[in-house]
Structure 1
Amino acid sequence: MPDDISDEEDTSTESNSDIPLHHYEEDNIPYVAEEYEINTSHGRSEGNGPSAISLSVFLSGYRPYYKGGTHSNEYLNEKLQKMNPKKSIVDQDLSFLAEGLEGRSPNPVALLLDALCRPDADLGVDNPSLLEWKFEKEHAIDHVVLGKGKAGGAWQNMDGSMQTLSFANWMELPSLSFKEWQNSHHRDESHAHNGRATVADVRRYYGDFVEERGLQPYFRDQYVVTSIQKKFYTNKDVDSESGEVEPCKCRYKNHGFLWEVRGYCYLGDSEGDREEFCYCTNNVVVATGTFDIPNKLGIHGENLPYVLHSLEEVEHVLSNKKKKKSQDPVVIVGAGLSAADAVIMALKMKRPVVHVFRRGANDSQLIFKKLPAAIYPEYHTIHSMMKGKTINPLYKPYPNHSLVELKEDNHVLIQTTSGGDILSLDAFYVAILIGACPDLSFLPHDGKNLGVIPRFPIDSKHNPIHVDPYSYQCVAETGLFSMGPLVGDNFVRFGLGGSLGITNHLLLTKNKQTQ
């Protein structure tokens, strides 16, 4: 905890728990909520992913400067050439610089930062960055990053032997390239395929980044957020005769307020060894990712013990030697990359696989159609097996099929999507891997008031949180920000753009207040 945050016991009766409550107040501290939750058979959950780490490095005082060079985008290049090189990108007019940029992010500031860090990355080239980073402590903004586990977020729970979907340099954070990290830690690039990194290396890189950039004082591991809500300033009048305090009669919307962030933190290994915390702050950044709650089919028997909903559970079951006696297949449901990863895991363990998916194997919407075979050979092998072109005696595909019912005796009923005959299968385990959605239950209305389509659940693809395109402040709530997958940036390289936009906004606001 930073020295300038007071730490005092709160004897408030608002909490009904017997757990000790610690209360922190600071007017200008942005709170970064990074709440990736991966449910596993071990009951573990992790937090503090790349979006939060990136924002923390900006807020701690690391600032990007244009170091010269030419960009292939003539419009952007012209603006860069006229820009004052002694002025950090953080202090520039982001709306002006980002104007006209196009790419694979809906957010212009994300496109801007990516264009400067990785010029022409979408063309498959690895051009040097146009930015240099300087640590300027005088520009630091106090903040805390609360997460459920070690820095790295969901990456901490993934199978380390798997390779990233993106190239290694697309996974890197501001101010430290992945190659620099590899060289300084004597990591061998030979085990990566065509520029992709292993999950294990990405996990180590994110953890080392926090240490090497001196961000540890800002991070709070094992912190679980349970509530974020407004606390209004209320003017209370004292009755001159009775001495009783009368509540303010003004409307709340005319009052100033702070965001109150409540939750609990673990003090040791014991589940009961924990204490509550409370932060009050002007600004909150929600960067939770979208992997909290697995999507379900909603069929009978889906909650039976042999039914899994995450890759972590699949990995645990397959690696458990006590579970290997059954020769029944693992039934894997889904046609995305998570389902493909589960197939790869099972076949690697010599476990029979039944693969059930609703689409046809040649459907143009399958993700495999969008991945170059030379770079992603493992996924194209799975796709070839799905189409029946590559034969593996341990693998049986059922395209255009869906699960109908899951029985207690490990019997699985599947049916063609056209409503044909029902087929019964014996299953070792069933892995339903059809995506996930964020858990925003700690926000008022579960965050449904924040979406592009209000009153509907937040979804990174169809209903992201509606934010200002340059500040990343929620359109519906002042002082509440979001970034990363929650605002539609599902790739790390674009998720970092929120760091630039939020820091730019906070510094502009701070400067206006001091003038």
Structure 2
Amino acid sequence: MARKDTSTHNSYKLSDSSFDRIESTNVLIIGNGPSAITLSFLLAGHWPCYSPEDFPSPNENVTNATLQNIHDRLLYHCAMDSCNHDEYGNQHESISKPKLRSLMESDLREIGENLVGRTGANPISVLMDQLQHPNADFGERNPSMLKWTYRPDRRVDHIVIGSSESPGGIWHAIAKTCSSKLCSNSTTEMLTLSRRSLMQLPVLPIYDDENHQNDSDGELPSDNRVPYRVVANYYRRYVNHFGLDEFFHNHTRATLLDWDPIDQCFIVDASCRKSSSSNQRKYRVRYRAKRVVLAKGTSTMPRMLNIQGETFPFVLHSLTKLDVIIRQTQLLPCWRLPILSTSRTQSPDPILIVGSGLSAADALILLSQRCQRRPLRIIHLFRKSIRDRSLIFNQIATNDSNYPEYYQVFQKMKHSVQNNIHCLECLPHHHSPPSSTSSSKQLSLRFEYYQAYQECILSSIQTTANGHRTATLEFLNKNKSDSTLCCHCNRPINHQLTVRITFALILIGSSPQLDFVNENIRQRMARDSTAPIDHRLNPISIDPYTHECKDVPGLYALGPLVGDNFVRYVQGGALAAANHIYHDERNQNSNYGSIIIDSSNHSSLFDIDDS
């Protein structure tokens, strides 16, 4: 496909002398989280291989139709390869058994066609996940069916840039928030949603770096969800363990992505920070790259409601900002809350939480645990019905065995919604009872008052002349009936409810921050060029088998940007991009030779010391 000149301004024509450093590379990866780490691992020459001889007999162990389909396709693909036949096309007995086959050299479109996962992941993401975690969706814990070989002769030149201080991306910020002290004598950590094995990247297992318990023997611990801190440290250690540090430029934030039609390459300008023992220096660097991969994730820019008053300083959009407020003692200790009330004896005004996802649940857990000396009053509203099957809690929190903390949140939500609605004047002032104790050692949720409103939206936020902060809640059409009455005084709520608040936490997801991308390129990336890119409403349009943008050749997108929202799935997107880049390079360079690997001539990553 011929490239178009997408530049309408002279940004790429800035003189190279304006930059402190100029670097050229084959592939530039923007973002340094799990997607970027996996892609760097593959481009550095670490290749996943599949051998049909090592696959268990379908009649004995394969109970997954998708996995069986993948096995049949791989077996067919290997058997039909020309290298398994003589020059006349006749299959010899001595070479009739398929050899070890690298997925990097296979036709992923043929193998992954129409594969569908449970979460809407892309087909190659499903392919890689099924091979890495066979039958994981059926509750089984089986070893990976992939073998990994190290092929330094197939290494592709690349650079990874990311704004975080070390590899791992947003995971370090999340870990910092979730590892904060709760009170003077106790500390707790929030755990990942996925279990340990599903947070791992290829080959190297996750272990708790405090206990030094390694999972390399294949046995997973019974309590297999891990703290965010452990995961963040693991991604940092992963890059160091496999010698990928040379490819990573951390503390580097992309400020421009453009296309230079003269030199026929992408231009990426970046701002870098370099810390030393004496000072911190900032400098500018320009990268010229044949290909660019967007692996930034979507957690960098919270989604907005775009309502009146949303920009007030007491309206927060992320747990990180909530943690900052707590650390600055604006919210903790609770007996020093700078919040408003009608009198000295009345309880303080409530905190408003908007959202029905895990971030809203995490906020409830955070506020409950950090404000135990004086529990808070909470008003929680969300657009969905408590019975909506798409509600995340109806998928993961139906019992307290796997996610006890979210089970507690869900039970409190259901109990509150099942009760009739109170008007503001009739909100109870007594302490609500703590949630039922589960098998988890985590603290029970405890608030002075908690009221949940389902199928309800926040329509505006105001400040009054006497200094009060108020929020207007509006019930959706399906709830608009004459029976919407206060359960205490029987006064009609009139489908709108105005409440006084202290803070508002609007936690309704996030959007990718792609403002550094040239506007014309950004429009061509999206499915709908007239609307902003949104990973749910208006995602980046990619070839699902290569992850290359359909209308911007040489530009790729990975991870949550294209719907692969879990670490277990981002690895397949990295494989799709690496596979396409490798084939493109091979077509331009005939010296790559045979595409079938003889496993005896190459080192196995399983021989590398994991210590």
* TM-score bracket for this pair, using the shorter chain length: 0.7 to 0.9
Deviations 1:257-293 (A, max 9, x none): 1011112111338999311111111100011111222
- Equivalence for 1:89: 103
Please give the residue correspondences for 1:2-81 in structure 2 after superposition, counting only pairs within 5 Å: 14-15=13-14, 20-26=19-25, 29-34=26-31, 48-67=32-51, 68-70=54-56, 72=62, 73-81=67-75
The CA distance in 1 between the partners of 2:12 and 2:387, in whole Å, is 61
The CA distance in 1 between the partners of 2:210 and 2:316, in whole Å, is 39
Please give the residue correspondences for 1:98-113 in structure 2 after superposition, counting only pairs within 5 Å: 98-104=112-118, 105-113=120-128
Residue type at the aligned position of 1:473: E
Please give the residue correspondences for 1:449-468 in structure 2 after superposition, counting only pairs within 5 Å: 449-468=524-543
The CA distance in 2 between the partners of 1:394 and 1:337, in whole Å, is 22
Residue type at the aligned position of 1:412: T
- Equivalence for 2:381: 356
CA 1:88–1:13: 2 relative to 1, 3 Å? closer
Q: Is the 8 A contact 2:196 2:226 kept in 1?
A: yes
Q: CA deviation at 1:14?
A: 4.8
TM-score by length of structure 2 reads 0.71
Give the secondary structure class of the aligned counterpart of 1:165.
coil
Q: Is the 8 A contact 1:310 1:432 kept in 2?
A: yes
CA 1:96–1:182: 2 relative to 1, 3 Å? farther
The CA distance in 1 between the partners of 2:69 and 2:21, in whole Å, is 52
After superposing the two structures, state which structure 1 stretch, 468-477 or 455-464, moved more: 455-464
The CA distance in 1 between the partners of 2:501 and 2:285, in whole Å, is 45
Percent identity for Structure 1 against Structure 2: 31
The CA distance in 2 between the partners of 1:132 and 1:113, in whole Å, is 12
Pick from 244, 264, 279 the counterpart of residue 215 of structure 1: 244
Task: Structure 2 unaligned segments of length 5 or more: list them.
Answer: 1-10, 79-97, 180-188, 338-347, 417-431, 435-446, 481-493, 591-611
- Equivalence for 1:138: 153
- Which is higher, the Rg of structure 1 or of structure 2? 2
Give the secondary structure class of the aligned counterpart of 1:197.
coil
Q: Is the 8 A contact 1:404 1:415 kept in 2?
A: yes
Q: Is the 8 A contact 1:231 1:260 kept in 2?
A: yes
Give the secondary structure class of the aligned counterpart of 2:471.
strand
- Equivalence for 2:163: 148
Residue type at the aligned position of 1:23: I
After superposing the two structures, state which structure 1 stretch, 84-93 or 217-226, moved more: 84-93
Q: CA deviation at 1:19?
A: 7.0
Q: Is the 8 A contact 1:411 1:424 kept in 2?
A: no
CA 1:264–1:388: 2 relative to 1, 3 Å? same
Matched, 1:340 2:365: no
Deviations 1:164-214 (A, max 9, x none): 1112111111221335x7799337999987532221111111111011011
Please give the residue correspondences for 1:34-433 in structure 2 after superposition, counting only pairs within 5 Å: 34=31, 48-67=32-51, 68-70=54-56, 72=62, 73-81=67-75, 83=78, 84-104=98-118, 105-149=120-164, 150-158=166-174, 159-160=178-179, 161-178=189-206, 185-186=212-213, 194-233=223-262, 257-268=264-275, 273-321=281-329, 323-324=331-332, 325-326=336-337, 327-350=348-371, 351-352=375-376, 353-371=378-396, 372-373=398-399, 374-388=401-415, 391-392=433-434, 393-399=447-453, 400-408=455-463, 409-418=467-476, 420=494, 422-433=496-507
TM-score by length of structure 1 reads 0.83
CA 1:391–1:383: 2 relative to 1, 3 Å? farther
Q: CA RMSD in A?
A: 3.0
Q: Is the 8 A contact 1:64 1:90 kept in 2?
A: yes
- Equivalence for 2:487: none
Residue type at the aligned position of 2:274: L
Deviations 1:191-250 (A, max 9, x none): 98753222111111111101101111100111110111111137xxxxxxxxxxxxxxxx
CA 1:193–1:404: 2 relative to 1, 3 Å? farther
- Equivalence for 2:576: 501
The CA distance in 2 between the partners of 1:314 and 1:81, in whole Å, is 52
CA 1:333–1:444: 2 relative to 1, 3 Å? same
Deviations 1:338-365 (A, max 9, x none): 0111001001112412222233433343
Residue type at the aligned position of 1:152: G
Q: Is the 8 A contact 2:355 2:507 kept in 1?
A: yes
- Equivalence for 2:604: none
The CA distance in 1 between the partners of 2:150 and 2:211, in whole Å, is 20
The CA distance in 1 between the partners of 2:364 and 2:12, in whole Å, is 52
Q: CA deviation at 1:505?
A: 1.2
Q: Is the 8 A contact 2:258 2:517 kept in 1?
A: yes
Count, aligned residues: 466
CA 1:22–1:109: 2 relative to 1, 3 Å? same
CA 1:311–1:85: 2 relative to 1, 3 Å? farther
The CA distance in 2 between the partners of 1:321 and 1:115, in whole Å, is 47
Q: CA deviation at 1:429?
A: 2.1
Q: Is the 8 A contact 1:458 1:486 kept in 2?
A: no
Deviations 1:384-441 (A, max 9, x none): 1112269544341231443343334351223231572654444332211111111111
CA 1:438–1:85: 2 relative to 1, 3 Å? same
